[in-house]
Amino acid sequence: MKKLLILAYDFPPYVSVGGLRPYAWYRYLKEYGIEPIVVTRQWGNKYGNELDYIAPGESKATIVETTEYGTIIRTPYKPNLANRIMLKYGRSKFALVRKIVTAWYELMQFIFFVGPKSGLYRGAKEYLQQNKVDAIIATGEPFVLFKYASALSRKFNIPWVADYRDPWSQNKIRSKRLGILNKYYEKIFTANVKCVVTVSEFFKKQIETNVHKSFHIIPNGYNCDFIPNVSSIGQESDKLRIALVGSIYNWHPYKSVLSVFSNFVIANNEVKSELNFYGINRVEEINSYIKNKHIERYVHVYPRIDNQSLYGILRYSNVMLLFNDYSIMGTKIYDYLGSKRKILLCYSDDEEANILKKKYYPIEEIEGLSTHLQEDLINSTHSGVVVKDTKQLAEILKEIYEEFVQNGFVKCNSVGIENYSREKQTSLLADIIKQL
């Protein structure tokens, strides 16, 4: 059986969509003849929010776990000075000092093996000094993992694969921080890569402007491992529950959706409905908006929870809310597919949403490729409704609520979703590794 060393910064128990992809490799690769060895950092869920990303590890020593699926090497993690200040004093204190320290590490980590993430390199190096593997894969971001994989590949003469969950140097937000250096580092560290893996044809077209290697497309998916544990959970029938999970970005028209929902519940005093946010990143903004609209009874914000528990919550819900990411598919839509609940995509052509997209959306369109990937998937799987604008959303909320009152649930007649499981996508990676 071939062995694959996986460099994955995000990994359970840390609650992050970035950790789901390497977890699926760890969970299913053995079924396809590949033994996974995951090198990650020590994670905890002490805070239930973004502070977990910078919280210290539980031990100064490396923790090794061996299971029926493979091996997990959890390396020590010590926050840098900027993060320690933030953990102690909060976000509002010593902001300038934290920015300077963060910028220093952001630059120096690509020149030297320094910074909180470098523990992964040392842990992987220590393992390879005692054990043989057939290949290495690094999943980014953080893209400094590509530097570590490249160095380990040269040192131990092992082929490596670069997995892009997102573009690196082509991302507008990221390019503002290091600019042309990102392109330089990307070229340097992928010079000896065997091949490149990414999640979509759109990302491939972007990445190959700076990385001239062979490419493979392995989409994201939903974790079918969780489905059997929650398959018996039915929709709640006492209230119409609409759920949104994960990050809200600047181009997402959340105020517009909240306004429509607010008008809906206020105009119908007896309506039994609620809108629930899980693990979002704009807690203060959302709570402030809810308070100003006086809809605290109907809109609730919950902290991050582990993915298996999340699947259970999605099964309790009646409808899933999804914001349009245009040329990006994202991972959230796959979890929604796995939950088998009706999806509401907001919006396809709304005036306010179009303004936000023009101002904040960081991805440039590529001629000949779809700019509505989520819409395409929803239509092909019959898994939901693509909402044009606020006017149509108001109409659809009434229709869905009437269906819920009449039946006690909301139908979802999705088809072909088994093609989007992470187990199926892992088989594609196994084929690539076997061919190296």
Give the model confidence (pLDDT) of 283-314 as tens digits. Answer: 889 999 999 888 899 999 988 777 777 777 78
Q: Is 287 found in the same domain as 370?
A: yes
Whether 232 and 192 map to the same domain: the answer is no
375-417 per-position pLDDT tens digit: 999 999 999 999 999 999 999 999 999 999 999 999 999 999 8
Asked if residue 395 belongs to a domain, the reply is yes
Q: How many CB atoms lie within 10 A of CB 16?
A: 20
Question: Is pLDDT above 60 for 230?
Answer: no
**Alpha helices for 93-134 (secondary structure H):** 95-108, 118-130
Q: Are residues 268 and 416 in the same domain?
A: yes
Residue pLDDT, tens place only, 251-290:
999 999 999 999 999 888 778 999 999 988 888 899 999 9
Between residues 27 and 56, the one the model is more confident about: 27
Angle, vertex CA 207, rays to CA 16 and CA 334, nearest 5: 35
Q: Compute φ and ψ for 248, nearest 5 degrees.
A: -115, 125
Residue 175 has pLDDT above 60, yes or no: no
Q: Are residues 372 and 302 in the same domain?
A: yes
Contact by Cβ (8 Å): 126, 163: no
Best CA proximity match to 192, nearest among 167, 218, 217, 158: 158
Instruction: Say if residue 215 is in the same domain as residue 340.
Output: no
pLDDT exceeds 70 at position 232: no
Instruction: Work out the pLDDT band at 90, boundaries 50, 70, 90.
Output: confident
CA dihedral (222, 321, 198, 303) in degrees, to 10, reads: -80
Q: Are residues 140 and 263 in the same domain?
A: no
Taking only the tens place, the pLDDT of each residue in 348-377 is 999 999 999 999 998 888 888 888 999 999
Q: Span 311-340, mean pLDDT? A: 90
* Number of independent structural domains in the chain: 2
Kind plus residue range of the DSSP H or E element containing 140? strand 135-140
Which class for 61: exposed (0-12), middle (13-18), buried (19 or more C-beta within 10 A)?
exposed
CATH number of residue 132's parent domain: 3.40.50.2000
pLDDT tens, position by position, 197-223: 999 999 999 999 999 999 999 999 988
Apex 404 CA angle, 399 and 405, nearest 5: 100
pLDDT for position 176: 59
Identify whether residues 175 and 256 lie together within a single domain.
Answer: no
Answer yes or no: do 204 and 260 share one domain. no
The answer to whether residue 30 sits within a structural domain is yes
In the structure encoding, which two tokens stand for residue 352, read together?
């306010």
Average pLDDT of the segment spanning 78-83? 86
CA dist., res. 436 & res. 432, Å (int): 7
Whole-number average pLDDT of the chain = 90
Shared domain for 173 and 298, answered yes or no, is no
Summarize the confidence of residues 178-189 as an average pLDDT. Answer: 87
**Pairing between strand 71-75 and 63-66?**
antiparallel
Domain that holds residue 161: 2-78+116-221+422-435
Nearby residues of 331 by Cβ (< 8 Å), 6 or more positions away: 17, 20, 21, 220
Same domain, 144 and 194: yes
pLDDT band at 228 (very low <50, low <70, confident <90, very high): low
In a domain, 99, yes or no: no
